[in-house]
């Protein structure tokens, strides 16, 4: 046996490896997944995610070329995701990947329309937004929902690994954590966005607006609850202000309700109801640290 310390370390690592796992087909590469996401966004919004022009004479050729490239990328990625399991032959993995990819490509026009509505919701909901183009190009909330709508579709198709890689990439880029299982309706707007968490079994209706720091979470994270409805339902036209926390699978925020900043909710709220946290009592002090009458800044 070698006395080389590096070889001793290598031997220890080899003993710790699940060699059966190591020898299984290679998982999708994260960089390739990100490149594929960028390519999807390039197709959905030409000119926003790559510097290029689409001359009228060759426009159709360019789009068809992009679709062909995307088809090849997705088939490889999805095939690798399925191949890492034990219940499919290589031929079955390839066939299923091809079928799912074909269905996804067919959904692209509808996905673009969904995202157009999301961009318009941001334009309506944010006085600082100058145009839908600005929203698409710069808003982290729009970037997060774009990736979510892609990852959610793949999640519903039963593709392993890939949806979560996409959602965690969006999380790392935007500070917005949306599980790919969350169901989100039309015209969704996340304003500012940093710190937003939306759990796996969350249901969100249409025209919902969420501010930074909102958590739509579970009351418990026990493993035995996997697959159960653990996260809240947010109905149409609800506004959730910064720092609001809504927990529980049976919690329903009714249509048109407003949940104020920093509110903590574990029970349902009726339609057209506003929930506000009681204003805190403020103490004002001078630089000399002498106490001034409560609530009086004069």
pLDDT at 26: 73
pLDDT at 19: 62
Parallel/antiparallel/unpaired status of strands 209-210 and 189-190: parallel
Ranges of the chain whose pLDDT falls below 70: 1-3, 18-25, 50, 86, 289-298
**Domains of the chain by residue range:** 1-176, 182-298
- The conformation of residue 158, written as its DSSP 8-state character, comes to T
Which CATH architecture describes the domain 1-176? Orthogonal Bundle (1.10)
Half-sphere exposure of 66 (CA within 13 A, CB side): 23
Domain 182-298 fold: UDP N-Acetylglucosamine Acyltransferase; domain 1 (2.160.10)
Residue 186 three-state SS: coil
83, 88, 102, 37: CA torsion to nearest 10: -20
Q: Could you read off the pLDDT of 90-136 as tens digits, one per residue?
A: 899 999 999 999 999 999 999 999 999 999 999 999 999 999 999 99
Burial 167-176 (b: 16+ CB within 10 A, else e): bbbbbeebbb
Cβ proximity of 118 and 187 under 8 Å: yes
pLDDT at 296: 53
Query: In what helix (H) or strand (E) does residue 247 lie, and over which residues does it extend?
Result: strand 245-247
Cα separation, 96 vs 102, in Å, equals 10
Q: Could you read off the pLDDT of 133-155 as tens digits, one per residue?
A: 999 999 999 999 999 999 999 99
Cα separation, 11 vs 5, in Å, equals 10
Q: In angstroms, what is the C-alpha Rg of the chain?
A: 24
């Amino acid at each position: 046996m070698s006395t080389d310390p590096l070889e001793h370390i290598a031997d220890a690592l080899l003993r710790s490896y699940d060699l059966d796992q190591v020898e299984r087909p290679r998982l999708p590469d994260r960089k390739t997944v990100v490149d594929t996401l960028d390519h999807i966004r390039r197709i959905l919004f030409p000119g926003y995610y790559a510097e290029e022009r689409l001359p009228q004479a060759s426009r159709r050729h360019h789009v068809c070329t992009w679709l062909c490239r995307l088809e090849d990328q997705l088939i490889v990625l999805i095939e690798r995701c399925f191949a890492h399991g034990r219940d499919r032959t290589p031929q079955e993995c390839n066939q299923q990947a091809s079928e799912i990819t074909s269905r996804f490509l067919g959904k692209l026009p509808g996905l673009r329309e969904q995202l157009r509505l999301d961009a318009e919701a941001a334009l309506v909901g944010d006085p600082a937004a100058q145009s839908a183009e600005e929203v698409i190009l710069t808003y982290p909330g729009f970037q997060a929902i774009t990736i979510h709508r892609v990852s959610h579709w793949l999640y519903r198709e039963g593709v392993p690994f890939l949806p979560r890689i996409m959602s965690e990439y969006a999380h790392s880029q935007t500070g917005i954590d949306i599980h790919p299982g969350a169901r989100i309706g039309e015209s969704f707007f996340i304003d500012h966005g940093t710190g937003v968490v939306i759990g796996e079994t969350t249901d969100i209706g249409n025209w919902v607006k969420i501010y930074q720091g909102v958590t739509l979470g579970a009351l418990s994270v026990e493993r035995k609850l996997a697959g159960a409805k653990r996260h809240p339902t947010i109905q149409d036209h609800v506004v959730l202000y910064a720092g609001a926390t809504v927990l529980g699978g049976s919690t329903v925020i009714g249509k048109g309700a407003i949940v104020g900043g920093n509110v903590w909710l574990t029970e349902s709220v009726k339609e057209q109801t506003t929930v506000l946290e009681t204003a805190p009592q403020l103490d004002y002090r001078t630089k000399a640290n002498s106490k001034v009458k409560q609530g009086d800044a004069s």
